[in-house]
Every structure is written in structure tokens, then in C-alpha cells.
């Protein structure tokens, strides 16, 4: 069997410039093994009103938005999560990308299944308590990276340098990086019953005419950010 380029082209995902919310879930419902890559989402084109509306609605309801989005011609499953002042679009692994645990030879859950004694459990809990602390990401460094940079600094000071040409990064086109949150709300809430909160929310967004969008970066590990004339967004990790 041979699949022609035309047949592949026909099913190729098209960039829709929108985050299409499929449903809303409790914030703690998605297992962490599905989380893959986070992006910060920021409003552009006077879209602060819709951006804030969606962020506050999610925050107060304790929900997150399960969505589909096309980035660089690839379709992703994603979750839209409020985090303080910003919305984070975290790409997810598809269901068939997470391997089942059935074949792993691990002790069954529970004290009896793990075959541990109360004394052993108490000792382990004491160790956890003694080593507990707060999340401080700045306290942990990439030791390999810092070791390499020390070598680089030493060679620079010794004059052991050479000129190399760094290939220029191709700037992403705006059409593939703009995610329209206004369209997201109107499309996701379309079909709500007249007079329902969902329908009223969609009408209010449409009536105000403000457009909210988000821009992702294609930044490399150097930490460079991409900018737009109105707003700036960064890849979160």
C-alpha cells in the first residue's frame, strides 16, 4: 500500500490561529505524565479584556481548558491553565503516547501490597519531613552547563578564541503563531442555549469587539525571546 503526497496533503493539519477548547476539566484531573511543554500566552491587539475574562473565570471555577491547537503545522492536545497573572498553554502528550503501567513489575499500592512494616514507614516519613522544603527553582543549577561555561571563560581569558559564523534563525511567520482567544470563546461557546451564562458570555465578548491573541516563541535554550509590536510572550520551558 502506498499513500500519495496528495492524500497526505489532504489530511495535513491547517493552522487555524485559534485554541479550540474541547471541554473544561478540574485542574487536578490531568496526570502530570501527560504534561509536555508549557508556553506563556499573552494578549495582543487590545485583547486584555477577553484575556482577563477567561483567566478569572478559570481561576474562580478551579477549571482548566482542554484544547487542540496547531503549532508549526503539527496538531497538539493542550491544556490552558491560569497561573497568577498569566495564562499558560501546556502542550500534552496524546493518550497513545503514554505507556500503560500494567507490565511494570512494581509492588502493589498500599502498605500491605508494598510489604513494609509500620516502623519502616515511620522512618521513611521522618526522612521526608527532615528533607522537606519550599520550591526554589533558582537554588538548582545545570551543573554541566556551568562547568562548560567555566571552560569557555578560561579559554577566552587565555586568548584561545576563533571566529565562527552562527546560522541565522528563520523568523516564524505571524500567521502560524497567533492564537485568537476571542475566536476561541465564540467558537467553543457557540451553540449554548439562549439566556444561558455561556451564551451571554459569548455575546458580551462579541459585542465589545476586542480581539485577544497569544504569541508563542520558537526560542532555543539560549533563552531569547520573540517580540511583537504590541505585546511580548515567552516560551515557559
Tell me: the pLDDT tens digits for 188-200? 555 544 445 554 4
For residues 160-172, b (16+ Cβ closer than 10 Å) or e, as one string? Answer: eeeeeeeeeeeee
Tell me: the pLDDT tens digits for 71-108? 877 889 999 999 999 999 999 999 999 998 888 888 88
Greater confidence (220 vs 214) lies with: 214
pTM of the model: 0.59
Q: Kindly report which listed range (123-127, 153-157, 161-165) carries the lowest average pLDDT score.
A: 161-165
pLDDT surpassing 50 at residue 217: no
Domain ranges of the chain: 5-96+176-233
* Contact (CB, 8 A) for 233 and 216: yes
How many other CB atoms sit within 10 Å of the CB of residue 64? 22
- Work out the angle between the directed axes of helices 48-61 and 197-208 (0-180°, nearest 10): 160
| Of 54, 44, 45, 61, nearest in space to 88 by CA | 54
| Of 175, 178, 176, 185, nearest in space to 51 by CA | 185
Percent of the chain past pLDDT 70, that is, above it, reads 63
Q: What is the mean pLDDT of the chain?
A: 75
Amino acid at each position: 500500500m502506498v499513500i500519495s503526497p496528495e492524500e497526505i496533503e489532504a489530511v495535513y493539519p491547517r493552522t487555524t490561529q485559534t485554541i479550540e477548547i474541547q471541554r473544561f476539566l478540574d485542574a487536578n484531573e490531568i496526570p502530570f505524565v501527560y504534561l509536555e511543554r508549557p508556553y506563556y500566552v499573552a494578549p495582543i491587539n487590545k485583547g486584555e479584556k477577553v484575556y482577563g475574562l477567561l483567566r478569572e473565570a478559570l481561576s474562580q471555577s478551579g477549571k482548566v481548558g482542554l484544547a487542540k491547537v496547531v503549532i508549526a503545522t503539527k496538531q497538539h492536545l493542550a491544556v490552558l491553565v491560569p497561573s497568577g497573572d498569566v495564562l499558560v498553554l501546556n502542550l500534552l502528550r496524546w493518550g497513545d503516547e503514554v505507556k500503560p503501567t500494567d507490565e511494570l513489575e512494581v509492588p502493589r499500592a498500599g502498605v500491605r501490597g508494598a510489604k513494609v512494616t509500620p516502623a519502616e514507614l515511620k522512618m521513611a516519613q521522618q526522612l521526608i519531613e527532615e528533607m522537606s522544603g519550599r520550591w526554589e527553582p533558582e537554588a538548582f543549577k545545570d551543573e554541566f552547563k556551568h562547568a562548560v561555561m567555566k571552560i569557555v571563560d578560561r579559554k577566552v581569558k587565555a586568548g584561545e578564541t576563533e571566529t565562527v559564523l552562527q546560522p541565522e534563525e528563520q523568523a516564524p511567520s505571524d500567521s502560524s503563531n497567533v492564537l485568537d482567544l476571542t475566536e476561541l470563546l465564540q467558537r467553543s461557546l457557540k451553540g449554548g442555549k439562549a439566556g444561558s451564562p455561556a451564551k451571554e458570555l459569548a455575546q458580551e465578548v462579541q459585542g465589545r469587539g476586542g480581539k485577544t491573541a497569544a504569541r508563542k516563541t520558537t526560542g532555543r535554550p539560549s533563552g531569547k525571546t520573540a517580540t511583537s509590536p504590541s505585546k511580548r510572550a515567552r516560551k515557559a520551558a
